[in-house]
Structure 1
């Protein structure tokens, strides 16, 4: 198994990222994890961390979470 990279696109350092899972994950390794990185948020698949994270601005991440909470981003988008 390969070791995950410690850098993300745009030279954001992931070496000290504190990854968090949803409390709804039940401790299983089958969900997404999120880390705050200064002005960015990183999201990764807990099953495939070697693929690296997706990197979002904090504003984009807030918009995504708000849209999900409002129901404007739902299953019909998939």
Structure 2
């Protein structure tokens, strides 16, 4: 058996590398930007509304829900994406 074949054999069993962490960060950044815009449209500043107050304000509650859905979608889609 050639030395070249011996060196290539272990690499053929290597796991597929994933681009998940990079694309996940980009996706989460997009989600956060949309959440900031949503809060701004509702007249609030993202990150400054206490949880008890957020539960009583329908617009903020909708922004939080959309942000959570977007974040969950990012995790489900981007962390399994292979490197191109």
TM-score, normalising length: structure 2:
0.24
Larger Rg: 2
Larger relative contact order, structure 1 or 2 (CA cutoff 8 Å, min sep 6):
2
TM-score, normalising length: structure 1:
0.25
**Bigger proportion of residues as helix:** 2
**Bigger proportion of residues as strand:** 1
